Structure 1
Amino acid sequence: MNRSLLIIFATVGLDAVGIGLVFPILPRLIQEVTHASNVASWIGIMAALYAMMQFVFAPMLGALSDRLGRRPVLLISMGGAAINYLIMAFAPQLWMLLIGRAIAGLTSANISVATAYITDISAEDTRARRFGLFNATFGAGFIIGPVLGGIFGDYWLRLPFIAAAILNGSNLLLAFLMLPESRKPSRQPIDFAALNPLRPFRWIFSMKGLMPIIVVFFIFSGVGEVYGTCWALWGHDAFCWNGLWIGLSLGTYGVCQALAQAFLPGPAVKLLGERATILVGVAGTSLALIVMSLTTHPWMVFAIMPVFVLGGIGVPSLQSLATRMVDNDRQGQFQGVLASAISLASIIAPLAFSSFYFVVQKQWPGAIWLSAIAVYAITVPLVLNLHIPQAKMAAAT
């Protein structure tokens, strides 16, 4: 593996670590600066702010990297990430934390630029393997992040942010000294109309018959936000977990999901078909969430994790099914719409789930998981009634 790829993978991994390390400690940090006992709403606002900055700025950073080159945009985003973590490490007031999370969301939009960089330097026959490593690196960072955040946060609440700032600053220095440019800057003017993040939604209503699967993607992505938004709050309220146990539980969940998505979807689809595999994933996740909503024993959370594995087979199967819904000449357009729907769900869902948790926190914190099941249930009739063109079915077989 060449030096450039190692630096890019380090950037992606550190982005994921930075996202994950915040989860176990953010509730306590907000309590420290606001002196409020119920901070669920602020958790949702911060998660939505982070996602909104990604949603708005990812197209802009991608366009700037085409115009100016990948290297300067990546360096700026690395520097922004380091600055964000320093702000959050020492911020005495809530508005400073909000600014920090906004900067974090903006700079984490560099994933699209890192993807373009890998495409620039990779031959077609190596791209699949390299993108596999790319996704694995992000997944590993997202598993490591919550564990480190919990351990460091128990020692000192601000320590995880200082560690993240040091790591991102080191990566910035390494990239500045050793990362070459992957493409020549373009002299073509930037198409500002293409920077509108809502632009792909114009195509939704022109894609007849595709609205149900877009809604399913939206719901799946929205439900996935409940874990990052409410897991730490629930762990503390239900079991009085400290940062270490919150981080370990999130890390265990991440490992189960990664293993499931890596090894189970292919055999499951061959055995059951895509529709049934998606529904089995929904059923497995729902069963695990029911147990979590009712249990008063923390060991049950870890015991139910293998059932969560079943939930990990749903999204890859849905992605496979989606590719058969349109012709090859519309795949790019369709995937753009799906990406926008997922981003929009990442903005709306944290606000909705955190508001619900604010209501049920004192009476029954586990009710948050039942609300996720209720949202999931909407997908069942949609999946059952998805219409797949016969020509696509024949081509797939």
Structure 2
Amino acid sequence: MSDTSKSEEGAPSSSKVIAVVFVLLLLDLLGFTLILPLLPSILDHYAQTGDAAYQTLQSVVDFFREALGIPMEKKYNSVLFGGLIGSLFSLLQFLLSPITGALSDRFGRRPLLLLTTVGMMTSYVVWALSRSFTMFLLFRIIGGVCKGNVSLCTAVVADMPCPKARNRGMAMIGVAFSVGFTVGPLMGAYFAMADKTTTHVFYQTPALIALAFSAVDLIFIWLMLPETLPQDAKSSSSGFGDFRDLLNPLALFSFSAVTRSKDPPPEERMQRLKVLGRVYFCYLFLFSGLEFTLSFLTHQRFHFTSMQQGKMFFFIGVVMASIQGGYARRIKPGHHIKAVGMAIATLIPAFILIGLSWNLTMLSVGLALYSFAAAVVVPCLSTLVSEHGSSSQKGTVMGILRSLGALARVLGPVVSSSVYWLAGAQVCFLLTSAGFVIPLLLLGSARRLKAE
């Protein structure tokens, strides 16, 4: 029977679920990314008001900047301050994603998606009403706690019994990310400019639009998304297990919550899952670090303005969406490790070209290779990981994977920016390029472990 039809057990159509997941995640990401181009202006706004909470965090940024010898320049301050706020968000995701996934294994994907979407709506209300930096931070904290849609959507796709459907679903999640991170910031910048002609604070309209996206998302989930967790899996799931397994970083790297569950995978599959989790962490640790320092390099070496930076990331987003919508979703089952290996290997020349670039042509070639790899690695690794664990563990497995990625995004930018300013751009990019050999070696050990 085709994976686009219903199974004998009445499972929802895979094609319908993939389409619904794509739309709801795209709506979520459009609202989430509206703020990205506004961060520098928001920080300037609170700096000018002399906000006490802002000044406290600015002292932390200044300490880090002085320790590394970063020039006192407005552009660098915005990148560092934005990185600090982003790290706070990622840290909360690191702590909460495994719990959100475990809860979805017990109560179902739909209830948790509805709950987290209501939480995101609350965060956007706080943003729209915020008139102090403390309220702005509260908005980011609520968002970090409630941003469970990504791991829950990957769990929904992981519930699909057909490997081809899972691969297509993970690729479409990647497309939603690429489109959301390409279109959302442009919308945020446009509506913020429109706000400057009114009596409102310049970020109020983007905040209200984000709230509207989230409200539509809530209605869409309620009306269109079927429950994909089988009833027998839901009723037999223990949910949390030991909280320490969901909060301890070492336990997360070992997927202990899965190992100690009522229905653990066979030992060989468990070993493969652990290796894939380490590949995911190492890749994102290196990748997020260079992604963060890319703004330093283009501003320092090519004197990119904010608009030129925006055009650069628009180019990256368009290339990624094209690759994910074409090549990535057509990768055949059994070929994902090979595809991941090829993509990670591509990052080595990509970042060498970017790090050594002395003209825009060389930079553009490096960015094109970078975009190809970014489009392939995460969807394929998510597909590989989704094959592990019973139907009552998919949420926990995908939540732990999301948590490892969040931890990598906390640590990677700190380490990479430190190397960048202490040793220089070329050393930073060349060293990190060489570092991609580590996930490649880990991937080789995963290939040697049998999937069964």
Give TM-score, length-normalised by structure 2: 0.64
Aligned with 1:72 (options 82, 93, 111): 111
Q: What is the RMSD computed on CA atoms of the aligned residues?
A: 4.8
Aligned with 2:281 (options 214, 218, 223): 218
Match of residue 170 from structure 1? 216
CA distance in 1, matches of 2:389, 2:92: 31
CA distance in 2, matches of 1:142, 1:110: 15
Match of residue 240 from structure 2? 191
Structure 2 SS opposite 1:191: coil
Contact 1:284 1:311 in 2 (8 A): no
CA distance in 1, matches of 2:213, 2:46: 25
CA distance in 2, matches of 1:290, 1:77: 39
Shift of 1:162: 2.9
Please give the residue correspondences for 1:227-266 in structure 2 after superposition, counting only pairs within 5 Å.
Answer: 229-230=292-293, 239=303, 241-242=305-306, 244-260=307-323, 262-263=326-327
Aligned with 2:165 (options 119, 122, 127): 127
Shift of 1:106: 2.4
Matched, 1:346 2:346: no
Contact 1:74 1:110 in 2 (8 A): yes
The CA deviation string for residues 74-111 of structure 1, in whole angstroms up to 9 with x for no partner, is 12211222222333344333333322222222222232
CA distance in 2, matches of 1:383, 1:334: 22
Contact 2:123 2:139 in 1 (8 A): yes
Matched, 1:308 2:374: no
Contact 1:260 1:312 in 2 (8 A): no
Structure 1 SS opposite 2:242: helix
CA distance in 1, matches of 2:149, 2:320: 24
Letter in 1 for 2:377: V
The CA deviation string for residues 111-149 of structure 1, in whole angstroms up to 9 with x for no partner, is 2323344556x5637733444434333332233223333
The CA deviation string for residues 45-89 of structure 1, in whole angstroms up to 9 with x for no partner, is 211121122222122222223333333321221122222233334
| Worse-superposed segment, 254-263 or 75-84 | 254-263
- Structure 1: runs of 5+ lacking an equivalent: none
CA distance in 1, matches of 2:278, 2:349: 20
CA distance in 2, matches of 1:203, 1:175: 29
Identity within the alignment, %:
23
CA distance in 1, matches of 2:348, 2:105: 43
Match of residue 61 from structure 2? none
Shift of 1:165: 1.7
Aligned with 2:97 (options 58, 72, 85): 58
| Worse-superposed segment, 231-240 or 71-80 | 231-240
Q: Structure 1 residues 230 and 145 mapped into 2: Cα distance closer, same or farther (>3 Å)?
A: farther
Letter in 1 for 2:146: T
CA distance in 1, matches of 2:169, 2:23: 13
Contact 1:40 1:354 in 2 (8 A): no
Contact 2:97 2:402 in 1 (8 A): no
Contact 1:285 1:310 in 2 (8 A): no
Shift of 1:250: 0.9
Match of residue 22 from structure 1? 35
Match of residue 25 from structure 2? 12
CA distance in 2, matches of 1:66, 1:338: 15
Contact 2:286 2:432 in 1 (8 A): yes
Contact 1:17 1:145 in 2 (8 A): yes
Size of the aligned set, in residue pairs, is 377
Match of residue 436 from structure 2? 379
Matched, 1:111 2:144: no
Structure 1 SS opposite 2:37: coil
Structure 2 SS opposite 1:24: helix
Shift of 1:193: 0.9
Match of residue 69 from structure 2? none
CA distance in 2, matches of 1:391, 1:3: 35
Contact 1:45 1:350 in 2 (8 A): no
The CA deviation string for residues 191-222 of structure 1, in whole angstroms up to 9 with x for no partner, is 34156143233469x99999998665433202
Structure 2 SS opposite 1:92: coil
The CA deviation string for residues 202-258 of structure 1, in whole angstroms up to 9 with x for no partner, is 469x9999999866543320232246645556666653524x543332121122234
The CA deviation string for residues 305-345 of structure 1, in whole angstroms up to 9 with x for no partner, is 4343564488379959x99xxx999xx99998765543321
Shift of 1:300: 6.9
The CA deviation string for residues 270-293 of structure 1, in whole angstroms up to 9 with x for no partner, is 9xx77983574133322332255x
